[in-house]
C-alpha cells in the first residue's frame, strides 16, 4: 500500500524536521528499500506482488515512478481502512489462499519477517507485525475478515489494540511477529540510517552535525559555509532554543531535530540520524573552510589516521589572539588534542566503535578525543575552521585560558562534571577558591595543554 510521493503529501510528520521536499525524497527511498526487500523474497516463493497506489495523477505517472515490472493498481476511494479492505477482498476473490499487506514505512522489515508471516498463516487466521508506536507494519490473513478494517482509529496508538479486539470478536486466532519501528517521526530517523540502503546513499559523503542552543546570532554564516562544501546533509540538533535558531536552520535547508540541552546527547542523536560515511561535528559559531568535504576523505584515508580536525583560527580581534591560536594549533598537532571548536571528523564506523560521546554536561569533546587518539593518529587539516571569538573578547585571553585549564585539571582530579558545568557557566571566577578547600593543588596534567 503506497502513496504517490508528492512533496507535502507523504511523511507529513517528518516535514517540520526535514522539509517537504526532503521528506518526499526519503519516502521514495523507503519505497525502493521495501521493494528491494520484497524482491529478495519472491524469486524462490509462489508469491504474487501487487502494488496498490494512492494519489498518483494517472497510471503513467505511477509507472514512471515504480517501473513497468510491477502489477500496479489504484487503491480507490475512501479512508485507509476501506482501501485496505478492498485490496484484501480483491486478492481473495482472485484465488489467493493467504494475503499479507504491508506499507513502505518500516525500514526494519526484512524477507525474514515476510516469511514468518506466511508461515504463521499456515496455522492461524491472522498475523500482525506490531509497530512500536501502537500500530502495525504488517497484517495478514488466510480468509477475508472485513471486521479487521472497520472501526479502527487509524494513525493512532490504538490501531493494533483495536485490530486485535476485532479479530477476537470475529472468533479468529492470531499470532504476533517481532515488534519493529515505523518511520513516521523525526526520532525514528536512526532506524532508517541503519539500513544498507541508507548507507549506500551516504557512501563517500560527509554528514555535518551541529548542536545548538539559542545560536540565532551566529548560525546563518555557519550554515552557509557548511552548505558551500556540498555535504551529504546538514543536521542541526536543537537543545530547546527560544530564539530563531530552528527557523534559521529550516530556511537554510538543514534537517532540524530536537533533544535536551546537552551537547553530547545532541551530537549522538545527530550522528544516529545521519546516513553519511563521514561524520563532522561542528559548533554553531564556527565557519568551515572552502572544500572541507573533499578534504575529509583524503585525510582519513592516510595510514593510521582515525580522525581529524581543522586548523584553529579565531574571528575578531583581542589581545593575545595570536598566542591562543598558536598554542591551540601546537597542542592539536604535537599532542594530538584538537577540541570541538576545530570541527572534529571521523568515519562513522570509528564513531560507533567508540560508542559516541559520553553523556556528560561538559568536556564531552575532550573526553571523546582522549579515547579517539588511543586508536590511532588524528590528522589536522591545513585549512582553518574559524570559530567565534566572543568568549575570549568578553573574558580576555588569559582568563579564558586559565578557566579552561582549571576545568580540565579538576576533571582529571575527579570533580563531578555537573559541578564543573556550574563553575564554567558562572565563568569560574572563584574556581581556585572553591577547589582549595578540597585540598587540590594545581599541577600540570600531561597532554592537556590548552
In this predicted model, what pLDDT tens digit does every residue of 123-144 receive, in sequence order?
Answer: 999 999 999 999 999 999 999 9
Binning pLDDT at 50, 70 and 90, where does residue 420 land? Answer: confident
In this predicted structure, what is the pLDDT of residue 104?
A: 94
- Pairing relation of β-strands 174-176 and 233-238? unpaired
Same fold, 2-176 and 203-393: yes
CA 228/CA 230 separation, integer angstroms: 5
Assigned fold of 2-176: Spore Coat Polysaccharide Biosynthesis Protein SpsA; Chain A (3.90.550)
Architecture of domain 203-393: Alpha-Beta Complex (3.90)
In this predicted structure, what is the pLDDT of residue 430?
A: 43
Instruction: Record the pTM.
Output: 0.87
pLDDT in tens, 101-121: 999 999 999 999 999 999 999
pLDDT in tens, 317-349: 989 999 999 999 999 999 999 999 999 999 999
- How many CA within 13 A on the CB side of residue 321? 16
Binning pLDDT at 50, 70 and 90, where does residue 285 land? Answer: very high
3-state SS string over 381-397?
Answer: EEEEEEECCHHHHHHCH
CA 289/CA 311 separation, integer angstroms: 10
Q: Which of 175, 32, 162, 187 is nearest to 100 (CA)?
A: 175
Supply angle C-alpha 66, 69, 73, rounded to 5.
Answer: 65
Mean pLDDT of 275-282: 97
Beta bridge partners of 54: 3
- Residue 144 in grid coordinates: 477475508
Neighbours of 97 (CB within 10 A): 11
Mean per-residue pLDDT of the chain: 91
Q: Inter-axis angle of helices 397-412 and 417-425, to 10 degrees?
A: 170
Counting residues of the chain whose pLDDT is more than 70, the rounded percentage is 94
Phi, psi of 132 (to 5 degrees): -65, -20
Domain residue spans of the chain = 2-176, 203-393, 396-438
Output 425 or 203, whichever has higher pLDDT: 203
Residue identified by cell 572563584 is 430
Mean pLDDT of 229-241: 97
Task: Confirm if 262 and 359 have CB atoms less than 8 A apart.
Answer: yes
In this predicted structure, what is the pLDDT of residue 5?
A: 94
Binning pLDDT at 50, 70 and 90, where does residue 43 land? Answer: low
Binning pLDDT at 50, 70 and 90, where does residue 423 land? Answer: confident
Task: Confirm if 213 and 245 have CB atoms less than 8 A apart.
Answer: yes
Region of poorest pLDDT, from 35-49, 99-113, 306-320: 35-49
Binning pLDDT at 50, 70 and 90, where does residue 44 land? Answer: low
CA 426/CA 351 separation, integer angstroms: 32
Sign of CA dihedral 302, 305, 306, 309: negative
- Pairing relation of β-strands 233-238 and 255-258? parallel
- How many CA within 13 A on the CB side of residue 167? 21
In this predicted structure, what is the pLDDT of residue 391?
A: 86
Amino acid at each position: 500500500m503506497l502513496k504517490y510521493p508528492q512533496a507535502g503529501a507523504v511523511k507529513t510528520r517528518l516535514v517540520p524536521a526535514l522539509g517537504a521536499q526532503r521528506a518526499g525524497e526519503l519516502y521514495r527511498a523507503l519505497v525502493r528499500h521495501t521493494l528491494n526487500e520484497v524482491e529478495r523474497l519472491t524469486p524462490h516463493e509462489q508469491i504474487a506482488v501487487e502494488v496498490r497506489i494512492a494519489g498518483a495523477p494517472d497510471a503513467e505517472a505511477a509507472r514512471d515512478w515504480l517501473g513497468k515490472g510491477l502489477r500496479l493498481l489504484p487503491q480507490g476511494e475512501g479512508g485507509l481502512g476501506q482501501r485496505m479492505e478492498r485490496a484484501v477482498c480483491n486478492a481473495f476473490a482472485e484465488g489467493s489462499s493467504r494475503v499479507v499487506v504491508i506499507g513502505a514505512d518500516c525500514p526494519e522489515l526484512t524477507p525474514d519477517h515476510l516469511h514468518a508471516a506466511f508461515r504463521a498463516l499456515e496455522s492461524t487466521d491472522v498475523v500482525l507485525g506490531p509497530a512500536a508506536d501502537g500500530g502495525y507494519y504488517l497484517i495478514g490473513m488466510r480468509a477475508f475478515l472485513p471486521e479487521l478494517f472497520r472501526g479502527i482509529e487509524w494513525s493512532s496508538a490504538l490501531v493494533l489494540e483495536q485490530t486485535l479486539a476485532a479479530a477476537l470478536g470475529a472468533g479468529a486466532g492470531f499470532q504476533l511477529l517481532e515488534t519493529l519501528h515505523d518511520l513516521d517521526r523525526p526520532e525514528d530517523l536512526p532506524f532508517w540510517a541503519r539500513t544498507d540502503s541508507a548507507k549506500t546513499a551516504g557512501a563517500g559523503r560527509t554528514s555535518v552535525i551541529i548542536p545548538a542552543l539559542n545560536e540565532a546570532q551566529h548560525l546563518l554564516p555557519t550554515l552557509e559555509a557548511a552548505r558551500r562544501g556540498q555535504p551529504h546533509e546538514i543536521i542541526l540538533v536543537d537543545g530547546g532554543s527560544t530564539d530563531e535558531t530552528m527557523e534559521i536552520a529550516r530556511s537554510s535547508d538543514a534537517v532540524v531535530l530536537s533533544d535536551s540541552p546537552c551537547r553530547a546527547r545532541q551530537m549522538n542523536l545527530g550522528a544516529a540520524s545521519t546516513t553519511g560515511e563521514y561524520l563532522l561535528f561542528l559548533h554553531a559559531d564556527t565557519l568551515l573552510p572552502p572544500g572541507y568535504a573533499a578534504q575529509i576523505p583524503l585525510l582519513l584515508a592516510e595510514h593510521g589516521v582515525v580522525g581529524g580536525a581543522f586548523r584553529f583560527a579565531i574571528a575578531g580581534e583581542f589581545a593575545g589572539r595570536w598566542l591562543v591560536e598558536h598554542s591551540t594549533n601546537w597542542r592539536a598537532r604535537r599532542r594530538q588534542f584538537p577540541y570541538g571548536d576545530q570541527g572534529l571528523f571521523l568515519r562513522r564506523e570509528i564513531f560507533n566503535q567508540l560508542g559516541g560521546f559520553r553523556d556528560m554536561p561538559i568536556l564531552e569533546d575532550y573526553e571523546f578525543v582522549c579515547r579517539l587518539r588511543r586508536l590511532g593518529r588524528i590528522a589536522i587539516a591545513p585549512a582553518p575552521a574559524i570559530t567565534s571569538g566572543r568568549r575570549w573578547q568578553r573574558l580576555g585571553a588569559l582568563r579564558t585560558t586559565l578557566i579552561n585549564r582549571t576545568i580540565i585539571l579538576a576533571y582529571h582530579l575527579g570533580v563531578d562534571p555537573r559541578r564543573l558545568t556550574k563553575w564554567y557557566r558562572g565563568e569560574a571566577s572563584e574556581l581556585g577558591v572553591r577547589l582549595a578547600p578540597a585540598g587540590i593543588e594545581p599541577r600540570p596534567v600531561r597532554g592537556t595543554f590548552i
